[in-house]
Amino acid sequence: MAVRTIEVRERVMARNDEFAADVRHQLAACRVPAFNLVSGPGAGKTALLERTLEALGKELNLAVVTGDVQTQNDADRLSIHTDRLVQAVVTGGACHLDARQVLASLEAVDLQDTDLLFVENVGNLVCPASWDLGETAKIVLFAVTDGEDKPAKYPKMFRESRYVVLTKTDLLPHVPFDPERAVACAHDINPDLEFLFTSAVTGEGLDEWYAFLREQVRAATSTS
């Protein structure tokens, strides 16, 4: 009997790219940069966003979409630190957000009154690497508790990302982690990666993170 192969993945990905293009068009029309925060579980995405909302929430209009497999715990944590709506996408087991979900979330966001959009993706260094959400850039969070060779283990994520935020630097005295080796490992995968070093606990490096975000907003709004 003959066999017929159905290329389901390719069709799904093509449809996702259509949604991503729509997201990108809406954001560009309103000059809103969007960052897709990606990492393994427990790298500190939510903690970084908590500090960011506290520090910049009065200065910049920040919109947040969170993705989680089963709960809205991260969104609940973030909502304490902002007067704006924090949207929780519960994927029901899916290991990543997709562009359709982000597009649906934009329906509740006044982009004309938004300076910057954060998408906190599901904690996973594999699946989210393949899905375009219409973001300006992926920012991969890399905790000092992860091991310096994390980029070599998950190369696609580091190739697809534009920036790396090294997190939990307050733990460096207590873990066998060499930041220089970690940076070199990441640059072996993607020489164009830019690094920031942060601790959401002590505040180390957060001023540089905030300055980076301000510059991204300034650049987006000054584009002719």
- CATH number for the domain spanning 66: value is 3.40.50.300
Q: How far is the C-alpha of 176 from the C-alpha of 193, rounded, in Å? A: 23
Domain membership of residue 3 (yes or no) is no
**Confidence label for 5 from pLDDT (cuts 50, 70 and 90):** very low
Beta bridge partners of 35: 118, 137
Q: Which helix (H) or strand (E) holds 54?
A: helix 45-56
Domain membership of residue 2 (yes or no) is no
Domain membership of residue 72 (yes or no) is yes
Give residue-wise pLDDT tens across range 17-71. 999 999 999 999 999 999 999 999 999 999 999 999 999 999 999 999 998 878 7
Counted domains in the chain: 1
Q: What is the pLDDT of residue 6?
A: 44
Q: Global pTM?
A: 0.92
Q: What is the pLDDT of residue 224?
A: 54
Cα–Cα distances (Å) from 170 to 45, 144, 198, 201, in that order, read 16, 9, 8, 7
Q: What is the pLDDT of residue 88?
A: 84
Q: What is the pLDDT of residue 12?
A: 67
Asked if residue 76 has pLDDT above 70, the reply is yes
Domain membership of residue 1 (yes or no) is no
- Mean of pLDDT over the chain: 92
Q: How far is the C-alpha of 121 from the C-alpha of 98, rounded, in Å? A: 9
Domain, as residue range, for 119: 8-222
Domain membership of residue 165 (yes or no) is yes
**Confidence label for 4 from pLDDT (cuts 50, 70 and 90):** very low
For range 181-208, the mean pLDDT: 98
Nearest to 182 by CA among 169, 199, 173, 200: 169
Cα–Cα distances (Å) from 12 to 35, 103, 114, 134, 170, in that order, read 23, 16, 30, 16, 42
Beta bridge partners of 197: 166
Q: Which two tokens stand for residue 40?
A: 């393994």
